[in-house]
Structure 1
């Protein structure tokens, strides 16, 4: 899928229908069940020695005060825990000027996480998009990034790529679900395959003994006034989503 859709990177994404990528058998586990970690076998092409490579899931996020970034880091841990798959962290470009960010007391960004370009999206075998809510919808920074993907939409370069969401809200009724609902339109127009987590987190989805973010649509965190840190349950759900997405991407990967 994409440039990373096999054991050896391809040069160009094939249009849908020109290749046969069957889904492999196997059930998707819930929390407490073992996850399949069968590595993809390498291939050989004439004199070319095949090189086994990992499938890559891009974790593309916008985080103003660090809450979404915290989920993204834990999500990468979950992805990396599945054999044959790796998570790659990316930020989307900031749209606010530095003087405004200073007035809002926004902490500096981690330079170790690069800003993604639109063209790089086609390199991913799966995508997880993370963003805070703004009145029940994604933040302007993430929307601006999606708005810049017009050429990829025109050529349907992302069609068939599995994708999911994780979010943050300031309050319990602030849009944990609506933020994901309203973001699905972006995937639909690109032809991407929306992958919710459902209730695969098991008992962790039903506990009522503490406040936690996260829904069947994806992991989530409550930020409060900005000072509340993600709870261990919220982080564990993010890690689970990473593992879950990794198993889905492996099932959609073309055979070698």
Structure 2
């Protein structure tokens, strides 16, 4: 009986499973993020996080234990050098799993697993949010003076807006207005009006920009929008956008039919 044995075998023998996790851990340490299935990512996290904890204390014994698990000199050099310096102040939770949705072939749930301290985009956003967030306290004293200020301020602000807005609209060239309109991103399979709006807010307004954007950047836009949009698979959007950018609509239609399995949408 398997009482208390909760780890996932991943449909592999013990030696095959250990070798696979060893290779995935090396790839994660060297490249800082890899794409895999959610089941493998959860097992990899349990395998690699104790190794990262040992790497923070660079001793001969820890190097022997870690090399027994990784068995790769280049990975050891990267781990005890760059990675150990980055995670030195983190007490745990070195990895993050970002779900990408189900892949087309076997409908397996895929994800990105990455080292938290090497995602510069999220770190910068967190630092900016912490800097702009301030604590406020409400007090009953002096409420009358504040009320007087708030009643006087809007009139000046409204007058300023009324004076400046028409001039700005008249001076805006028509060519610039045409450029900012962008392309209809909803022609890409998997992009609806809401996702198109999210991409436009992120600065991706044309087929060319979407074709040049990295999958991680597009997926991060969906992740930031919440779990409702995080389930969409954006791996084929670049290819579709490239065809739309080049005006190859027939090839785009054939690709979208293959993505749908040759069936019309309900």
TM-score by length of 1: 0.20
Identify the structure with the greater helix proportion. Answer: 2
The structure with the largest strand share of the pair is 1
Higher relative contact order (Cα pairs below 8 Å, separated by 6+ residues): 1
With normalisation by structure 2, the TM-score equals 0.20
Larger of the two Rg values belongs to structure: 2
